[in-house]
Every structure is written in C-alpha cells, then in structure tokens.
Amino acid sequence: MLFKSKLLSSAMILSSATLMITANNTLAGEHSAPSDHANNEHAQSAAAPNKHGDSHHAHWGYVGAESPEHWGELSADYHTCLDGKNQTPIDIQAAEDVALPPLEFHYAASGYDELNNGHTIQVNYQGGSWLTVDGRNYELKQFHFHTPSENHIQGHEFPMEAHLVHADAEGRLAVVAVMFEEGAENTELKTAWQAMPTHPDEHHALTPKISAAALLPASHDYYHFTGSLTTPPCTEGVNWIVLKQPMTASAAQIAQFSQVMGHPNNRPLQSLNARTVQQ
C-alpha cells in the first residue's frame, strides 16, 4: 500500500484533469503529443504526439536564454520550474528500505512513430501496453532519451537515460527511468536509431515496430520517489520509478543521439528537499 498511498498523495497535488493535459503535452514534449513524458517529453498530452507542451506555450530549450536556469522566467505557466519543491531530476544518494510492490510490465512491440521534437528523440506508442504497480495500470504512451542522464545514482551520471512515460485512467503519470552505460550495442536502439529523424518536428514511421520491453534490464529492482516533469511546465505529482540495473548502448549509439540533439538535453539536478526515496 506504500506505493499506492504515494500515488494518491500525488493526485492531491494536481487535479487529474491537469495531469491529463500535462500528460498529453508531455507525451508530445517530454516529461508534445506522444512525447517525452506522457506524450510531452513528459507531459504534452497523452494524446498528442509532442514533447513538452504545445505551440501556445513559451519556447524553451537547453542553451542560452531558454536554458533550464531560465525556464521559470519564460512564462507564468512555468513558475513551478523555479519554485517547485518536488522537482526532478535528483541524485539518489540514499533510500529507505520498504516493501515496494513488484513492477509488472505488459509491453507489446507497438512503438510505431519516431519523433524529433527539437528537445529529444521520442518513440510514440500505440495503445495496449501497460505497467501494473500495486494493482493500478498505467498505459505506456511514449519513451524518449536524455544525454547525459538527468537522474544520478549515488553521484554517478550515466551517459544516457531513457524515460518511459505512462498515464493511468485518471491521468496520473508514472515515469520509468532506465540508465544506460557505454558498452555493448543495444539491438532495439539500433532499430530505432536507423530511423532517427535528424531535424526538429520530423517524424519517421517505424517498420517493424519496436518494443520498449527490449530497453528493460533483467532486474526490475527500483527506486521510487514523487517528483515532476523534467521539462516545462515542470508539473509535480509524477511518480518516478528509477530502475537500479543499467542497460548498455555502444559509444556510437550514444554519440549519434548526442550529435542529432546538438547539445546536452538534461535538466540539472534539483534539491531533494523533504522527500524520501524508497527502495
């Protein structure tokens, strides 16, 4: 019940309607239709395929006057990026030992569309794949990447991090973070990278479709904390599941993603404040 109580407390932070809007924008932009974090790299809508919000929102980025340190100044809608107290990413230094529920992944090979939204490379997912945690189902909306990693584990920054963005029926978001170390080539990434769009707002259909299951490590042990989208509007109330075991990607695969982005696309670490990380 620990995880479920966390979910319910998260829902109290933001209304389900707000989270669903964010999810759809994240789906499209990060954490723009099915973009970064629900369909927004984390929260553009669960229905829209872009990364972090729609065209009506202030433009943001990772360099210059639109970089993360300025996000909170770009729009009143982004104030949480500046004054939020439960922001992501974090450095997981210590964790409370609790009986976290197991993760049940039910992923089909349904990654059908690959988008360069200018902030990340995002693979949009068809319906019918979900994560079950403590009896609650979260549908996989999209997954996207950051280099170097946004979250750290015991001070260690990884070369790359994947965010698998899910939303439940009420619009609550759960993001599964998978870390990548440099090593053996990742077969599923090879398929995705062959179709990688090199220009912003460019889509490529994925044939064959790819499976997010191939991005998961053998061990599903994880850290859990309540946080936020890692991109504007930095909405809080997001349940973060950070898998402990990293995957590998080759140096060439990591470099290809970095070169297409043109610059690091990771938000700096945020303060843990009064939160507790569980494991």
Q: At what angle do helices 251-261 and 187-194 cross, to 10 degrees?
A: 30
DSSP H/E element including 226: strand 222-228
Q: Is 5 left (phi over 0), alpha (psi -120 to 50) or beta?
A: alpha
265 burial type by CB count under 10 A (0-12 exposed, 13-18 middle, 19+ buried):
buried
Active site residue 224: no
Catalytic residue among 119, 146, 152, 163: 119
Q: Which pair of structure tokens corresponds to residue 210?
A: 């790819």
Joined together, the tokens standing for residue 266 give 């990771």
> In the numeric block, which tokens belong to residue 121?
């490379």
**Residue 185 half-sphere exposure toward CB, CA atoms < 13 A:** 9
Token duo for residue 255: 């470099």
The one-character DSSP state at 101 is: P
What is the C-alpha to C-alpha distance for residues 195 and 236, in angstroms, rounded to an integer? Answer: 33
Measured CA to CA in angstroms, residue 19 lies from 151, 165, 240, 259 at distances of 22, 13, 15, 32
Quote the DSSP letter at residue 45.
B
HSE (CB half, 13 Å, CA atoms) of 16? 7
Q: Of all helices (H) and strands (E), which one includes residue 111?
A: strand 111-116
The catalytic residues are: 119
